[in-house]
Amino acid sequence: MTKKIVYFWIQITTAMPLLSLKAIEMPASPIRKLVPYAEAAKKSGKTVYHLNIGQPDIDTPQTALDAIHNLDHRVLEYSHSAGFESYRIALAKNYQVEGINVNAEDIIVTTGGSEALIFGLMSTCNPGDEVIIPEPFYANYNGFAVMAGLKVVPVTAHIENGFALPPIDAIEKKITQKTKAIIICNPGNPTGYLYTQEELEQLKEIVQKHDLYLFADEVYREFCYDGAKPFSTMNLQGIEQNVVMIDSVSKRYSMCGARIGALISKNKDLMQAALKFGQARLSPPTVEQIAAEAALQTPKRYFDEVVAEYVLRRNIMVEGLNNIPGVFCPKPNGAFYCVAKLPVENAAHFCQWLLEEFSFENQTVMMAPADGFYATQGAGLNEVRIAYVLKKEHLKAAIKCIAVALEEYIGTTN
Amino acid sequence: MTKKIVYFWIQITTAMPLLSLKAIEMPASPIRKLVPYAEAAKKSGKTVYHLNIGQPDIDTPQTALDAIHNLDHRVLEYSHSAGFESYRIALAKNYQVEGINVNAEDIIVTTGGSEALIFGLMSTCNPGDEVIIPEPFYANYNGFAVMAGLKVVPVTAHIENGFALPPIDAIEKKITQKTKAIIICNPGNPTGYLYTQEELEQLKEIVQKHDLYLFADEVYREFCYDGAKPFSTMNLQGIEQNVVMIDSVSKRYSMCGARIGALISKNKDLMQAALKFGQARLSPPTVEQIAAEAALQTPKRYFDEVVAEYVLRRNIMVEGLNNIPGVFCPKPNGAFYCVAKLPVENAAHFCQWLLEEFSFENQTVMMAPADGFYATQGAGLNEVRIAYVLKKEHLKAAIKCIAVALEEYIGTTN
């Protein structure tokens, strides 16, 4: 409401052509405010350990890079609006090998997982409709909701139980006449929490009962640890028409810049509608689709090595954090993020202070204040999201920084 | 309104979770209905000359392909959400060389021109706002308008004067309290018409007077013929805050599949808002941005050759069409499309008949019925859009087909 007031105030006081209400409502990135401080810290000569972004340092599989180097096109033509047929067929086969119930005709290749969610939301939800999302959640869901004119209704998950699915009746209580969908991310960004099949079956019941869509962002599927197996929403029996899976090559093959994702559903009407959105934007990128298709040939040992590396990093990070007095960090078994509670009142202020004021052996750390991942005002104020995407030596140095910093910060502010 | 009735009818009669109103309103491609007929014709062994799509057969510049082959990244990382800084700087320099007033900070690199227009419309227009577009226009503008919840208000241009800008008072008459922007495509798809500086100055006056945004899709800028020089809206003095230019490498470098475009404006508030949309989707594709940056090194002789080739093709096409009794096709001096009036009542039916029933020496032609490029119901019914993107021998064969077909069709249907 306040944003609307600001908007109309601008409307009255400016002589310029106005921007839209969406331009005002569109959220900036949760770390945007910190970026200038990180840049200043680096300019001053400090080493900044970036625990704030989910950009892995893992090599892209050689098979994908080779496909790019060996591209033999004379003309970089459009692909089909749903993506190259050969890629869709190969991708479906890949899902089937993983035991996930997907056929080629259930797939529209999109420009990143982002576009898949935008097409999915626009195809199913009217402006003013509500989408329920367990929080903390991937902050850009807010942006996609604004684009589609939707209201995000959060249900708070809690750090105490590692951000497990909130009690199903807490979710059901949020369902209104306007509720159209539930969005989950599994394994989760920012929590790293992997939903159990039981939790997903609970969700299935209310999805079925209230005839909702269930959007499942499963882009971290390969990153499951300690023997945990991901259960795909595509395998939930009886709600095949309600499930929309979002996928992407970004994290799986460390190809974030490729912008190749997929919208996946058994609901043919939805897929037909989504394809119209796809036709309007013509096609996803050609070269990187070819690379994504080649990436499907990545040998299993690549993932074994990557997963082993992330387990190592997670263990260093989570144990290191929990060894700092007053810090609590549940041990997630998926993705490459964790959320930690810090012994501070305002983690955003602490994160800024780390960049602006703090230095230990000329090093400091950039983290993402977790409040940006909550839609509930005031939630997560003393939490940070950490992406453990750095080499172990750097993670250890970063943990040392955080420990020294907290001691100093608490001494200063108390 | 009818669509809304259909929507609510579906709402009542289905037990499935509903799709959105946008899913219903989203237009399908104007050639969608013809595709199965074209496929059937090809399966039956007929050669089909595709005059229906703007996919050039021109080679992508070698410098762009080399950049792809020589990519030396180990990790395909995200770029900046506004695109690689080096690309934005090089692109701005390129505009300046062409005498177009653009600096690096006026540019956000987008995933194709499509995304640029979506970000631009979403940043400036509220759902329910109106955008005025001279028709016939690029059909996908309808799709972007649906995505942003906007009403397209057409102003009809006429084939008799080559689809020149409609009289400015006809445009001004369409302006209401809800009008937020005018969208033009210059040189035009589907008309090939290149607006004169005088026409653009007329537009400037009403843009200024009514404080509107002026979106100018200038992706065909390099394709101007017979000595005609394009005048960029970025050079219109005094409405710098109102102008938003849409650009793309798709046609310029025959890199349609690269999906690299740009949103360009001097309006800093707008660019800041658009960047938030850009941040939500993270970044445009990395590899193809690198190719697009390399494409800026394309030697001038590439364009000289391409333009000479298109002039040759246009001349063959337009003269060939005008030599057919009853056909009228104005000679455009931009882009690589033309719109022709045929001596038939329903060009859509004729186009389908060409694919389904007609054959001349086992060949036929696929064209785009032009009614799909008009928003006014019933306009352009006897017109087709032709993309002259084939080699001259194929164009000549296609013209022969059309001539024979029209004679036969008129004999059959009259």
* Residue-range domains of chain B with CATH: 17-58+301-413 (3.90.1150.10), 62-295 (3.40.640.10)
Q: Are A109 and A284 in contact (CB under 8 A)?
A: yes
Query: Does the beta-carbon distance from B75 to A59 stay under 8 Å?
Result: yes
Query: Does the beta-carbon distance from B126 to A22 stay under 8 Å?
Result: yes
Query: Does the beta-carbon distance from A241 to B32 stay under 8 Å?
Result: no
- Give CA–CA dist A105/A209, Å, rounded: 27
User: Which residue do the tokens 């998950």 mark?
Assistant: A157
Average confidence (pLDDT) over B227-251: 97
Please check whether residue A74 touches B, CB under 8 A: yes
User: Which residue do the tokens 């992330």 mark?
Assistant: A310
Please check whether residue B152 touches A, CB under 8 A: no
The per-residue pLDDT for range A325-355, each reduced to its tens digit, is 999 999 999 999 999 999 999 999 999 999 9
- The token pair that represents A246 in the structure block: 């979002």
- Give CA–CA dist A161/A201, Å, rounded: 19
pLDDT value at position A15? 56
pLDDT value at position A55? 83
pLDDT value at position A233? 98
pLDDT above 80 (res A402): yes
Q: Provide the chain B residues 101-120 that lie in CB contact (below 8 A) with chain A.
A: 111-112, 114-115, 118
Q: Where are the beta strands (DSSP E) in B250-397?
A: 261-264, 337-341, 363-366, 368-369, 383-387
Which residues of B are less than 8 Å from A70 in CB distance? 69
Question: Taking all residues of chain B, what is their mean pLDDT, rounded to a whole number?
Answer: 95
pLDDT above 70 (res A59): yes
pLDDT value at position A54? 80
Of A21-35, B71-85, B116-130, give the lowest mean pLDDT range.
Answer: A21-35
Q: Percentage of residues in chain A with pLDDT exceeding 70? A: 96
Which string of DSSP letters, residue by residue, matches B266-296? Answer: S-HHHHHHHHHHHHHT--S-HHHHHHHHHHT
Strand partners, B48: B364
pLDDT value at position A249? 97
Residues in chain A: 414
- The token pair that represents B79 in the structure block: 């770029």
Q: Percentage of residues in chain B with pLDDT exceeding 70? A: 96
Q: Provide the chain A residues 229-248 that lie in CB contact (below 8 A) with chain B.
A: 241-242
- The token pair that represents B181 in the structure block: 């922007």
pLDDT value at position B152? 98
SS (H, E, C) A389-409: CCCHHHHHHHHHHHHHHHHHH
- The token pair that represents A324 in the structure block: 């700092």
| Alpha-carbon radius of gyration of chain B | 22
Q: Smallest Cβ distance to B74: which of A26, A59, A125?
A: A59
Question: Taking all residues of chain A, what is their mean pLDDT, rounded to a whole number?
Answer: 95
Confidence at B287, pLDDT banded by 50, 70, 90: very high
Nearest CA in chain A to B212: A17
The per-residue pLDDT for range B309-340, each reduced to its tens digit, is 999 999 999 999 999 999 999 999 999 999 99
SS3 at position B383: strand
The per-residue pLDDT for range B117-155, each reduced to its tens digit, is 999 999 999 999 999 999 999 999 999 999 999 999 999
- The token pair that represents B211 in the structure block: 């404080």
Its pTM stands at 0.95
Chain B closest-CA separation from residue A259 CA (Å): 5
Q: Smallest Cβ distance to A282: which of B68, B114, B212?
A: B114
pLDDT above 60 (res A414): no
Nearest to A254 by CA among A190, A216, A310: A310
pLDDT value at position B397? 98
Please check whether residue B45 touches A, CB under 8 A: no
SS3 at position A181: strand
Q: Are B339 and B159 in contact (CB under 8 A)?
A: yes
Please check whether residue B217 touches A, CB under 8 A: no
pLDDT value at position A9? 62
Average confidence (pLDDT) over B110-115: 98
| Those residues with Cβ within 8 angstroms of residue A161's Cβ, 6 or more apart along the chain or in another chain | A330
pLDDT value at position A12? 57
Average confidence (pLDDT) over A104-126: 98
Which residues of B are less than 8 Å from A58 in CB distance? 75
pLDDT above 70 (res A1): no
Please check whether residue B389 touches A, CB under 8 A: no
pLDDT value at position A13? 58
The per-residue pLDDT for range A133-161, each reduced to its tens digit, is 999 999 999 999 999 999 999 999 999 99
- The token pair that represents B266 in the structure block: 């001097």
Please check whether residue B70 touches A, CB under 8 A: yes
The per-residue pLDDT for range A257-288, each reduced to its tens digit, is 999 999 999 999 999 999 999 999 999 999 99
Q: Percentage of residues in chain B with pLDDT exceeding 90? A: 92
Which residues of A are less than 8 Å from B26 in CB distance? 273, 276-277, 280
